Chain A
């Protein structure tokens, strides 16, 4: 039995503590926005925030998240439903193509901007190189991160509402 705060809500999951957080989120908490891509922390599709830090949920056992705060893509928007500046920038720059990797990309970008509200290209490289996009939207992801960074700093730097 693990107890988590997921997107601001207390949740319990009664499964094998060795189950990766990814599958607990998808199959037991029924939050399918976090994606399975590789299972070995190589692609970033499963990126969520655990206690504020971006992690690859496919490679974090549930036991390691017990008692922690988890934010998924479903919890990035404001309580009022207003999109996070990163999400809005993703729309403005028309980033997604197939869209499958974008939950993870957005989670990585949100964490980046919270830590570095005005990231350099090198910062973006370092924060985003763990997220593969087979549609090759890298140039647009970079542009959208910069667009989000240029929004009011408090909003962009505010990060997720729950992380």
Chain B
């Protein structure tokens, strides 16, 4: 895109050789003035893309991720400040503008293009996941638990180290001292031999004029002072006094408010609209029939929503008007059976001869599992504020992929993408829902009919019924046990292959494996949901391993341990969680402990649930979790993410059920899509294991083990095997 191509950045003298990893060295008046203008305030010098040094010696981490609760700004700032030897008391953060220069996969991009030298220090951090995301060019995405793993490791730390080196060099030149004699501490430079000292800001301009080092030296773990510390989150003070600005809080002059109604059956279009009653309401400005949805624009949101309720809308027939949830599951079974009968299985993993081994085994174990659709139900309902004027679009939004949203708007509505500015706000929860482009496009479609800004807010009912859902899926597993009660085969069939690709893989050493899926139509739109495919496969795999352990008359922890060949990290988390929970202790009647172990997004998490299964709905009393994410940058923040993920997973296991009847989503709000609340929230204990393996993610990996650990605990408590979720509401746990 013009001079802002990668090459343009290099040509600007900012990114030379392998310095892509270092980020952009830039300052006001630089040949890259547009970027400087976007982030540099008066009197500030932008040393590189990820660090800004003000004249008052404040250091700002410019974070190319969205804050949706995961503490990303703080962890990113810690990684930057660590390498920069910054004074943490004077480190702050800023959301990076939605601009290619802030794309958070520059390394992956450069690696793919093949003409960028990747510094050896960071090349180790490149892996398949990063490259895959980079291939998609899905820039600036917050999701996949990538912030610390990729942006932090390859961006923030390298940027911080480079900035520090440049400041040292600038001071060395000015002071006439060898750089090796200059030390840095708390955002100050010291030359002990001459007694000279200066704050970083003194040399900000001089450093900004320097070319960044090709391979800045990163600290080793023994040198960490900030990383590994539970720094208080930088965004929390604004979240206790009401001052944090979410998109729904944006207030602009002359702003109007929009409420919307989408089709009950996905894909339907408006055939008839009677808006007489709505238009008669005071404060209603316009009723807009966009074909695929209807919007009412009014002086206030409440009036707009009232007017929506007064509309009489008829929708086209899509052919799915009689579709029901039972038929969807039946279709899965039919298509799975057909795939096996016709040999049309889509191969995922194949080693050895799983079916032959099962036929020859002394014991055969088989089970079928299913999970329903799930909505995300972030606390902040979907919303966005758009202002279209003179062909330019300004959009205020909480979005996990602001650049992607911008490009989607440009493509869908024919704008030059540089005419679109996305102002990213705090997200009141995201969980994957807010990576979709539907609602940014809708907001602009409404706003482009007016000269004034329009705030579009979805009712909770729209938010639940117009989601992109964690898919309903079914899996069938068949395993053979040998005479000595060891599994010899694993035949695992499922429907719907999404991401991550490895979510269906097992860590257990079973010789003959056939992991495969059947093509089937899933009529409800799919979206990533916290940990994506790991949610269902974690439940299927870890439930079935538990069934195998019982079939083999072995302790579920010991059974897993035996099968974790050459998996010392997995064994360590398993041992840790067993020890935390007092695994093996005698339990009262109707109480049980259940275990599950899932690696996802580079982090291995084992959880043990203690359940009281005496009531109609099981009560989760305690949860213990042990996690190995390689090295945890902010232990308290990571702990909070695991706690959060446990609650998210348990909520789904206990209550989460989006069902389809007459082609439409049945549930609409928290009364029929219930959430785990304070009085049924378990105590959660988290132990972090720093194995020094590659950095893993934090936001998602705590979710997948929660449901199977609960199901396995129920089996331990009362001998009832749970093969379908949710536990409550569906009458599945009589």
**Contacts from A to B (Cβ < 8 Å):** 15-16, 19-20, 23, 26-28, 30-40, 42-43, 45, 72-74, 76-77, 83, 87, 90-91, 94-103, 106, 124-126, 128-142
Give me 6 A-to-B residue pairs in the complex whose CB atoms sit less than 8 angstroms apart, sorted by A's number.
A19-B300, A26-B249, A43-B675, A97-B71, A99-B239, A132-B670
Decide if A37 touches B677 in the complex (CB within 8 Å).
no
Decide if A142 touches B678 in the complex (CB within 8 Å).
yes
Contacts of A141 in B (CB 8 A): 678
Q: From B242, B426, B648, name the one whose CB has the most chain A CB atoms within 10 angstroms.
A: B242
Contacts of A129 in B (CB 8 A): 677-679
Known: A37-B379, A136-B643. A30 touches B251 (CB 8 A): yes
Contacts of A72 in B (CB 8 A): 242
- Minimum CB–CB distance from A25 to chain B (whole Å) comes to 11
Contacts of B637 in A (CB 8 A): 94
Decide if B379 touches A35 in the complex (CB within 8 Å).
yes
CA distance A74 to B242 in the complex (A): 6
Decide if B378 touches A137 in the complex (CB within 8 Å).
no
What 0/1 pattern do residues 303 to 339 of B give for CB contact below 8 A with A?
1010000000000000000000000000000000000
B640 at the interface (CB under 8 A from A): yes
CA distance A9 to B644 in the complex (A): 38
Extra inter-chain contacts (13) besides given A37-B381, A99-B69, CB under 8 Å: A36-B457, A40-B669, A72-B242, A74-B242, A76-B241, A94-B636, A95-B240, A96-B69, A97-B641, A100-B378, A134-B377, A134-B675, A136-B648
CA distance A34 to B249 in the complex (A): 9
CA distance A135 to B69 in the complex (A): 7
Question: Which chain B residues (410-459) contact chain A, with CB distance < 8 Å?
Answer: 426-431, 457, 459
Decide if A99 touches B428 in the complex (CB within 8 Å).
yes
Known: A35-B248, A100-B428. A90 touches B379 (CB 8 A): no
CA distance A140 to B239 in the complex (A): 15
A62's nearest neighbour on chain B, judged by CB, is: B302
B71's nearest neighbour on chain A, judged by CB, is: A97
Decide if A36 touches B248 in the complex (CB within 8 Å).
yes
B647 at the interface (CB under 8 A from A): yes
Decide if A38 touches B669 in the complex (CB within 8 Å).
yes
Decide if B237 touches A91 in the complex (CB within 8 Å).
yes
Contacts of B99 in A (CB 8 A): none
B681 at the interface (CB under 8 A from A): yes
Decide if A97 touches B246 in the complex (CB within 8 Å).
no
A30's nearest neighbour on chain B, judged by CB, is: B251
Contacts of B117 in A (CB 8 A): none
CA distance A73 to B243 in the complex (A): 9
**Contacts from B to A (Cβ < 8 Å):** 67-71, 232-233, 235-246, 248-249, 251, 257, 282, 300-303, 305, 377-381, 426-431, 457, 459-460, 636-637, 640-641, 643-648, 651, 669-671, 675-679, 681, 683-684
Contact with A101, one of B235, B379, B426, B460 (Cβ below 8 angstroms):
B379
CA distance A83 to B305 in the complex (A): 36
Contact with A99, one of B235, B251, B300, B645 (Cβ below 8 angstroms):
B235
CA distance A94 to B66 in the complex (A): 19
CA distance A20 to B301 in the complex (A): 11
Decide if A134 touches B379 in the complex (CB within 8 Å).
yes
Contacts of A91 in B (CB 8 A): 232, 236-237, 240
Decide if A98 touches B380 in the complex (CB within 8 Å).
yes
Decide if B300 touches A100 in the complex (CB within 8 Å).
no
Known: A37-B379, A134-B379. A103 touches B457 (CB 8 A): no
Decide if B242 touches A34 in the complex (CB within 8 Å).
yes
Q: From A31, A94, A140, name the one whose CB has the most chain B CB atoms within 10 angstroms.
A: A94
Decide if B241 touches A138 in the complex (CB within 8 Å).
no
CA distance A83 to B237 in the complex (A): 10
A92's nearest neighbour on chain B, judged by CB, is: B232
Decide if B678 touches A94 in the complex (CB within 8 Å).
no
Decide if A124 touches B70 in the complex (CB within 8 Å).
no
Contact with A136, one of B70, B428, B457, B647 (Cβ below 8 angstroms):
B647
CA distance A20 to B302 in the complex (A): 8
- Minimum CB–CB distance from A92 to chain B (whole Å) comes to 9
A99's nearest neighbour on chain B, judged by CB, is: B239
Decide if A124 touches B678 in the complex (CB within 8 Å).
yes
Contacts of B240 in A (CB 8 A): 83, 87, 90-91, 95-96, 102, 106
CA distance A128 to B249 in the complex (A): 24
A76's nearest neighbour on chain B, judged by CB, is: B241
Decide if A39 touches B241 in the complex (CB within 8 Å).
no
CA distance A72 to B429 in the complex (A): 22
CA distance A40 to B245 in the complex (A): 23
A125's nearest neighbour on chain B, judged by CB, is: B679
Contacts of A28 in B (CB 8 A): 300
Contact with B429, one of A27, A87, A135 (Cβ below 8 angstroms):
A135
Known: A23-B302, A98-B428. A43 touches B242 (CB 8 A): no
Contacts of A125 in B (CB 8 A): 678-679
CA distance A99 to B242 in the complex (A): 9
B237's nearest neighbour on chain A, judged by CB, is: A91
CA distance A137 to B238 in the complex (A): 17
Contact with B241, one of A83, A94, A132 (Cβ below 8 angstroms):
A83
Contacts of A19 in B (CB 8 A): 300, 302-303
Known: A32-B249, A38-B670, A42-B670. A136 touches B241 (CB 8 A): no
A126's nearest neighbour on chain B, judged by CB, is: B679
CA distance A60 to B460 in the complex (A): 18
- Minimum CB–CB distance from B322 to chain A (whole Å) comes to 29
Known: A19-B300, A134-B377. A99 touches B426 (CB 8 A): yes
Known: A99-B428, A134-B378. A128 touches B678 (CB 8 A): yes
Decide if B248 touches A138 in the complex (CB within 8 Å).
no
Decide if B460 touches A39 in the complex (CB within 8 Å).
yes
Contacts of A99 in B (CB 8 A): 69, 235-236, 238-239, 244, 426, 428
CA distance A124 to B647 in the complex (A): 18
CA distance A132 to B673 in the complex (A): 12
B699's nearest neighbour on chain A, judged by CB, is: A97
Contacts of A138 in B (CB 8 A): 647, 676-678, 681
Contacts of B669 in A (CB 8 A): 38-40, 42
By Cβ-Cβ distance, the 5 closest A-B pairs, closest first, are A33-B242, A136-B647, A100-B428, A99-B239, A98-B69
- Minimum CB–CB distance from B670 to chain A (whole Å) comes to 4
- Minimum CB–CB distance from A120 to chain B (whole Å) comes to 12
Known: A31-B242, A38-B460, A134-B379. A100 touches B643 (CB 8 A): no
Contact with A94, one of B67, B68, B232, B378 (Cβ below 8 angstroms):
B232
- Minimum CB–CB distance from B249 to chain A (whole Å) comes to 4
Decide if B675 touches A140 in the complex (CB within 8 Å).
no
Q: From A31, A100, A133, name the one whose CB has the most chain B CB atoms within 10 angstroms.
A: A100
Decide if B429 touches A98 in the complex (CB within 8 Å).
yes
Contacts of B242 in A (CB 8 A): 31-34, 72-74, 103
Q: From B70, B240, B644, B683, name the one whose CB has the most chain A CB atoms within 10 angstroms.
A: B240
Contact with B648, one of A42, A95, A96, A134 (Cβ below 8 angstroms):
A134
Decide if A139 touches B69 in the complex (CB within 8 Å).
no
Contacts of A140 in B (CB 8 A): 640, 643
Decide if A96 touches B670 in the complex (CB within 8 Å).
no
Q: From B233, B428, B651, name the one whose CB has the most chain A CB atoms within 10 angstroms.
A: B428
Known: A100-B379, A124-B678, A139-B684. A37 touches B239 (CB 8 A): no
Decide if B640 touches A137 in the complex (CB within 8 Å).
yes
Decide if A98 touches B236 in the complex (CB within 8 Å).
no
Contacts of B429 in A (CB 8 A): 98, 100, 134-135
Decide if B681 touches A136 in the complex (CB within 8 Å).
yes
CA distance A46 to B677 in the complex (A): 16
